[in-house]
């Protein structure tokens, strides 16, 4: 294992350390030498170093995915601290919780071997979460997808994404092949997909709908031999989308503000135009960390954080974030392709798609490439549930990667 001794795993970590030093150092100076900034930076860096050291020392598979996620978190926390220090501090707490969740997910996923037999559990859990949201849910920003637990609000739909992927993987790994009554697994997955989407429509969580459906379509493309089923699904989606556009005011507004947000700047087009103003003001290299005005952008700490990144770090900064996501997706793809176990392969593939599609939807929405649907930017946006769930997904991918690395050609663990 010569590569454990070389610079191979250290050099990228230096970049992360540098980014933290410069970033928080700058904020420290900019905020009239507020020492809190330094503590926050040190705390965050400490967390990353612990995380990374454990990953390297325990040989937990791919080392760079988590490192790149840490870089994304750094950029996110830097902006959050700059927008409102209290957001930054809470985010770091969530990163700590997420870090623990990462290792828990890693260990649990690594050691339990009957994930592929539990499709029923995923469906019931997912449905339960949806029902709980509908009954106890709170409406925040037009989407009824929050539950208050004590004084923390959680977004169960984030968690259902993972459940849904694990459920899909049961069928696609052929572990679930017995029909339930008259329903074959193939149609079963289809029904569950539309059931979940139906729940999400009730919650008006269009972003998550897009993510789930894209995962379903991509997985169908990979696993279904003939294209008939896939085409049928796409056709159905087009019909549903068209009907939605015809009859749902929500969707009409989104499409029309996407086509021409300038018509109604002060009202429906407000969010997207504020986002575009921020990006346009940033130019190529940005106005500099701390020099921009992210305060004008609504929801800047969660959905619109990418616009703030573009304003302060420039379009090149934004492109760097997109490239980081691409690299994460690429390495995850590699793990999925190399994984020997069919279930692991499908889960890893699904989670990869989740990251990729989610990034595309929110970044595309914020820059007005596609209609805007509110969803968090993984690892960058503020949000406890989002951070923890993304860390859990990462933990699962890490476990799959570790199995591959340790057992090599053998059938991993199972």
Please give the residue ranges that form the binding site for another protein (CB under 8 A): 218, 221-223, 225, 262, 265-266, 273, 276-277, 279-281, 283-284, 293, 296, 310, 315, 318-319, 322-323, 325-326, 329-330, 333, 336-337, 349, 353, 356, 359-360, 363-364, 367-369
Does residue 83 contact residue 295 with C-beta atoms inside 8 Å?
yes
Tokens of 170: 């049961």
**155 vs 358, beta carbon nearer another protein:** 358
Stretch (H or E) spanning 146: strand 143-149
Q: How far is the CB of 336 from another protein (least distance, A)?
A: 7
Distances (CA, A) of 321 to 327, 328, 359, 382: 10, 11, 10, 16
Tokens of 27: 């904020």
Q: How far is the CB of 180 from another protein (least distance, A)?
A: 24
The Cα 287–Cα 321 span in angstroms is 17
Torsions phi, psi for 139 (to 5 deg): -95, 120
**168 vs 315, beta carbon nearer another protein:** 315
What length does the chain have?
414
**51 vs 366, beta carbon nearer another protein:** 366
Q: Parallel, antiparallel, or unpaired: how do β-strands 143-149 and 138-140 relate?
A: antiparallel
**59 vs 411, beta carbon nearer another protein:** 411
The Cα 308–Cα 135 span in angstroms is 35
Distances (CA, A) of 410 to 15, 405, 407: 35, 10, 6
Q: How far is the CB of 367 from another protein (least distance, A)?
A: 6
Q: How far is the CB of 2 from another protein (least distance, A)?
A: 29
**140 vs 369, beta carbon nearer another protein:** 369
The Cα 399–Cα 413 span in angstroms is 11
**12 vs 364, beta carbon nearer another protein:** 364
**89 vs 224, beta carbon nearer another protein:** 224
Q: How far is the CB of 286 from another protein (least distance, A)?
A: 11
The Cα 338–Cα 344 span in angstroms is 10
The Cα 224–Cα 213 span in angstroms is 16
Q: How far is the CB of 295 from another protein (least distance, A)?
A: 9
Q: How far is the CB of 172 from another protein (least distance, A)?
A: 10
């Amino acid at each position: 294992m010569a590569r454990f001794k070389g610079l191979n795993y250290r050099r990228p970590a230096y970049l992360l350390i540098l980014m933290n030093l410069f970033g928080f150092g700058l904020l420290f100076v900019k905020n009239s030498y507020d020492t809190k900034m330094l503590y926050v930076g040190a705390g965050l860096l400490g967390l990353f170093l612990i995380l990374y050291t454990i990953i390297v020392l325990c040989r937990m598979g791919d080392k760079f995915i988590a490192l790149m996620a840490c870089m994304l978190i750094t950029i996110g926390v830097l902006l959050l601290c700059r927008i409102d220090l209290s957001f930054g501090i809470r985010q770091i707490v969530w990163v700590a919780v997420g870090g623990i969740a990462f290792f828990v997910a890693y260990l649990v996923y690594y050691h339990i071997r009957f994930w592929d037999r539990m499709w029923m559990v995923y469906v019931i859990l997912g449905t339960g979460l949806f029902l709980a949201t509908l009954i106890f849910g709170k409406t925040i920003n037009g989407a009824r997808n929050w539950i208050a637990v004590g004084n923390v609000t959680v977004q169960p739909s984030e968690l259902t994404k993972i459940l849904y992927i694990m459920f899909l993987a049961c069928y696609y790994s052929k572990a679930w092949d017995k029909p339930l009554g008259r329903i074959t697994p193939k149609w079963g997955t289809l029904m569950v997909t539309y059931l979940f989407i139906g729940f999400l429509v009730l919650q008006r969580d269009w972003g998550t709908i897009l993510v789930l459906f894209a995962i379903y379509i991509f997985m169908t493309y990979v696993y279904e031999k003939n294209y008939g089923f896939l085409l049928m699904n796409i056709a159905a989606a087009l019909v549903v989308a068209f009907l939605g556009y015809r009859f749902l005011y929500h969707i009409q507004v989104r499409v029309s503000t996407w086509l021409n947000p300038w018509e109604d700047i002060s009202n429906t087009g407000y969010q997207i135009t504020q986002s575009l103003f921020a990006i346009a003001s940033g130019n190529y290299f940005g106005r500099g960390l701390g020099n921009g005005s992210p305060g004008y952008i609504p929801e800047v700490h969660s959905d619109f954080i990418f616009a703030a990144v573009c304003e302060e770090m420039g379009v090149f900064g934004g492109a760097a974030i997109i490239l980081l996501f691409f690299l994460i997706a690429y390495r995850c793809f590699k793990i999925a392709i190399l994984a020997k176990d069919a279930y692991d392969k499908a889960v890893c593939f699904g989670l990869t798609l989740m990251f990729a599609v989610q990034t595309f939807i929110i970044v595309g929405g914020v820059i007005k490439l596609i209609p805007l649907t509110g969803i968090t930017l993984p690892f960058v946006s503020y949000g406890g549930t989002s951070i923890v769930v993304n860390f859990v997904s990462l933990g699962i991918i890490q476990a799959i990667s570790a199995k591959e690395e340790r057992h090599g050609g053998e059938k991993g663990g199972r």
